[in-house]
Amino acid sequence: MNYDAELVRYHAALRRAWSLRPGDRVLDIGCGAGQTTRDAALVASKVLGVDPAVAASSSRDSVAYERADAQTYPFEPASFDVVVSRFGTMFFDDPVAAFTNIGRALEPGGRLVMLVWQAAGRNEWDVLIRQAVGGPLGGPDPFSLSDPATVEQILSRAGFTAIACEDVHEPVYYGPTVSAALDWVRGFAFLRQLSPAAASRALARLADSFAERATDDGVRLDARAWLVTARRR
């Protein structure tokens, strides 16, 4: 299991929405292992993937990766036509400043296409983990952009217009079996915040939850996201 496999249906939704054309210059925010970057490069003429912990490399001249923080990275002004992100924009310390910086990298009229999670209560994967732990999880908030009004306010202040949020309702995939799903969860950061005994109890509760949801198609958990689109003024 890996993050790309978990998000396969959301990745497909992002690809359908980004509508890239030959000649496009694409900036991928929060590229991680680089799947979105590589797929954009199948069409675009230039793609840069940026992530504070980028774990990708490429031998293609049209693809580059930068281990950097998109909030402050000195992008060349107006050097991209499209910015894309698959759940890579929810953790900015100052989202207005971050999207302002990203917007400067876009040509006037350039497009932003990104996926962000809807509210925690609409994402079964988070509900089950919080129930297993018995309380809130620490760390950065993956739901910081879950409110469309907040997203619109942030992007508008950052210099974007034509802002829209489209509902994407697809499950996330945790593996072909309950055992595989538990192996996937064992790599999640929240377990490192727990004592060994508490982590063992949480995994036991998750095993029961996953068993209730296991099908011949594997363990899939309900999820919802916003597909956010906007243009630089």
pLDDT tens-digit series, residues 136-163? 787 889 999 999 999 999 999 999 999 9
Higher pLDDT, 54 or 120: 120
Domain total of the chain? 1
Q: Which residues contact 163 (CB under 8 A, 6 or more apart)?
A: 151, 152, 155, 156, 228, 229, 230
Which residue type occupies 166?
A: E
Write out the two tokens for 169: 């309702």
DSSP element (H, E) containing 109 = strand 106-117
Query: Distance (Å, rounded) from C-alpha 56 to C-alpha 225?
Result: 25
Beta bridge partners of 215: 218
Give pTM, 2 decimals: 0.95
Supply the range of the domain harboring residue 21: 3-232
pLDDT of residue 139: 81
pLDDT of residue 61: 83
Place of tokens 């992100």: 85
Query: Distance (Å, rounded) from C-alpha 211 to C-alpha 203?
Result: 12
The CATH number for 224's domain is 3.40.50.150
Query: Distance (Å, rounded) from C-alpha 200 to C-alpha 196?
Result: 6
Angle CA 129–131–133, to nearest 5: 70
pLDDT of residue 102: 98
Alpha carbon separation from 194 to 74, 127, 128, 200, 206 (Å, rounded)? 38, 17, 16, 9, 15
**What is the rounded average pLDDT for all residues in the chain?**
96
CB 159 within 8 A of CB 105: no
Query: Distance (Å, rounded) from C-alpha 189 to C-alpha 174?
Result: 16
Residue 187 clears pLDDT 80, i.e. is over it: yes
- Write the pLDDT tens digit of every residue in 11-49: 999 999 999 999 999 999 999 999 999 999 999 999 999
Residue 66 clears pLDDT 90, i.e. is over it: yes
pLDDT of residue 57: 75
